[in-house]
């Protein structure tokens, strides 16, 4: 597993090709994605601040990372990225994040193995059918005849994209980028997303 938890220092740096410039302010599509929790998650109706980090693919135990994968700018480093959010999870929640999700086009069974092996405290969502990718127009590249997501992190507030990180490099600093934004730029939600949530907050205020 060591080769998946680290990465070479001379990897090619991805450049911003503008493929995510349309995302800020865009609403998530009304879809449900299969989750490592054992159920599906309706992503567009989640309340609060949600962090989705999209990544190409995590390597399997014993899998050798090929040189042509390393040669793709931004491809290598999915396991270090996932671990960065694992290690920062408590602080992210303390700073106002309601949910953290990793998203890839790998199937849920594959993702579940990675979640357990890496001791991830958050769920992974499968976009194997490319519903999220097509709904948002997320950038992809081809690998072994299949589309995989380019690495992009989204901060979503009540179903609408508030902040986009793209490209994400180095991948092991991905969670740190989000933490920095939360500490220096995030002003909190401007309101509640549903009447039910408003009622709940009013009830709390009466106690």
pLDDT tens-digit map of 176-203: 999 999 999 998 876 554 444 444 333 3
Residues 118, 82: contact at Cβ < 8 Å? yes
Residue that the structure tokens 């890839």 belong to: 104
The list of the chain residues with pLDDT below 70 reads: 1-8, 63, 65, 70, 190-207
CA angle 185, 132, 5 (to 5 degrees): 70
Q: Which tokens go with 27?
A: 């609403």
Q: What is the pLDDT of residue 17?
A: 96
Can you tell me the distance from the alpha carbon of 191 to that of 197, in angstroms, rounded to the nearest whole number?
Answer: 10
Can you tell me the distance from the alpha carbon of 127 to that of 66, in angstroms, rounded to the nearest whole number?
Answer: 24
Q: What is the pLDDT of residue 76?
A: 84
Domain locations in the chain as residue ranges: 12-206
For residue 87, give Cα distances in angstroms to 10, 79, 123, 163: 24, 12, 14, 21
Is the peptide bond between 170 and the residue preceding it cis, with omega within 30 degrees of 0? Answer: yes
Q: What is the pLDDT of residue 65?
A: 66
Can you tell me the distance from the alpha carbon of 26 to that of 175, in angstroms, rounded to the nearest whole number?
Answer: 22
Can you tell me the distance from the alpha carbon of 106 to that of 55, in angstroms, rounded to the nearest whole number?
Answer: 10
Burial of 26 (0-12, 13-18, 19+ CB in 10 A): middle
Q: What is the pLDDT of residue 127?
A: 98
Q: What is the pLDDT of residue 190?
A: 67
Residues 43, 35: contact at Cβ < 8 Å? no
Can you tell me the distance from the alpha carbon of 74 to that of 113, in angstroms, rounded to the nearest whole number?
Answer: 23
Which architecture does CATH list for 12-206? 3-Layer(aba) Sandwich (3.40)
Q: What is the pLDDT of residue 12?
A: 83
Can you tell me the distance from the alpha carbon of 55 to that of 72, in angstroms, rounded to the nearest whole number?
Answer: 13
Burial of 76 (0-12, 13-18, 19+ CB in 10 A): buried
Q: Is 46 helix (H, G, I), strand (E, B) or coil?
A: coil
Q: What is the pLDDT of residue 53?
A: 98
């Amino acid at each position: 597993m060591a080769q998946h938890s680290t990465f070479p220092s001379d990897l090619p740096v991805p450049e911003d090709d503008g493929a995510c410039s349309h995302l800020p302010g865009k609403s998530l599509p009304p879809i449900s994605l299969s989750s490592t929790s054992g159920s599906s998650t309706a992503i567009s109706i989640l309340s609060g601040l949600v962090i989705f980090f999209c990544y190409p693919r995590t390597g399997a135990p014993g899998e050798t990372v090929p040189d042509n994968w390393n040669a793709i700018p931004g491809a290598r480093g999915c396991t270090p990225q996932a671990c960065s959010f694992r290690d920062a999870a408590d602080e992210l929640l303390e700073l106002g994040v309601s949910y953290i999700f990793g998203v890839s086009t790998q199937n849920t069974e594959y993702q579940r193995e990675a979640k357990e092996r890496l001791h991830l405290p958050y769920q992974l969502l499968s976009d194997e059918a490319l519903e999220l990718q097509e709904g948002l127009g997320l950038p992809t590249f081809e690998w072994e005849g299949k589309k995989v997501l380019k690495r992009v992190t989204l901060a979503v507030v009540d179903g609408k994209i508030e902040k986009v990180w793209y490209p994400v490099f180095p991948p092991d600093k991905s969670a740190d980028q989000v933490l920095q934004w939360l500490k220096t730029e995030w002003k909190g939600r401007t309101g509640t997303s549903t009447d039910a949530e408003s009622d709940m907050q009013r009830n709390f205020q009466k106690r």
